[in-house]
Amino acid sequence: MVCSLFRLRRGIWLTLTIAAVAFLVISCSEGKVSQCNQLISVANEAVAQVQSVTQSTAASPDAGNSTTNPANNVGAMNRIAAAADQARGEMEALEFGDQRLTEFKSRFVAMYSEISGATRELVSSATASNSQAAQQAFNSLKTATDKEAPLVEEVNRYCANPQ
């Protein structure tokens, strides 16, 4: 009788322990999923804003001729820089308990800062008709934007794994 009671208690204890561990794993996974969704949402919104700017600029009557209305290009570039600044601010505001997501966040923040700075420098150089500085700014902008695809791929790979 005592052995049966001991086994029953041990069985209940083991069941409760397994249930607690399962709950922790599930809650941590849901936390990671939620945090991944927050990070991805900010990144997707940044892309949507830039696409909106480029599509509205392309749809303008002077789109094919940048010399007709260079203000369209300058305005578009300034809106892209502003979108990068906004994305940086929104990304900085995110807080994660997951160290890897915090690292991704830091990389996005740095990338958005580089994009904003290079875009503003490109506008400034083009406005001043400084072709050498404009080329350097363009190269910096390209370097900054080239970081996006591999970073997004890493985030997607990490977030696809629930553990």
For 116-147, the pLDDT digits (tens) are 999 999 999 988 999 999 999 999 999 999 99
The DSSP output letter for 124 is H
Domain annotation covers residue 47: yes
Domain annotation covers residue 50: yes
Domain annotation covers residue 137: yes
Looking at residue 73, what is its pLDDT? 86
Q: Which amino acid is at 41?
A: S
Q: For residue 110, which of 152, 141, 144, 150 has the smallest C-alpha distance?
A: 144
Domain annotation covers residue 6: no
Looking at residue 10, what is its pLDDT? 52
CA distance 105 to 133: 30
Looking at residue 108, what is its pLDDT? 98
- Total domains in the fold of the chain: 1
Domain annotation covers residue 122: yes
What are the residue ranges of helices labelled H in 59-98? 70-93
* Distances 115 to 72, 89, 111 between C-alpha atoms, Å: 19, 13, 6
Instruction: Enumerate residue ranges in the chain where pLDDT < 70.
Output: 1-30, 60-72, 163
The DSSP output letter for 162 is -
The conformational region for residue 129 under phi > 0 = left, psi -120 to 50 = alpha, else beta, is left
Looking at residue 97, what is its pLDDT? 92
Domain annotation covers residue 11: no
Please answer whether residues 155 and 104 qualify as being in contact, where contact means their C-beta atoms are separated by less than 8 angstroms.
yes
Domain annotation covers residue 4: no
Query: Which residue range is the domain that position 88 belongs to?
Result: 30-160
Domain annotation covers residue 105: yes
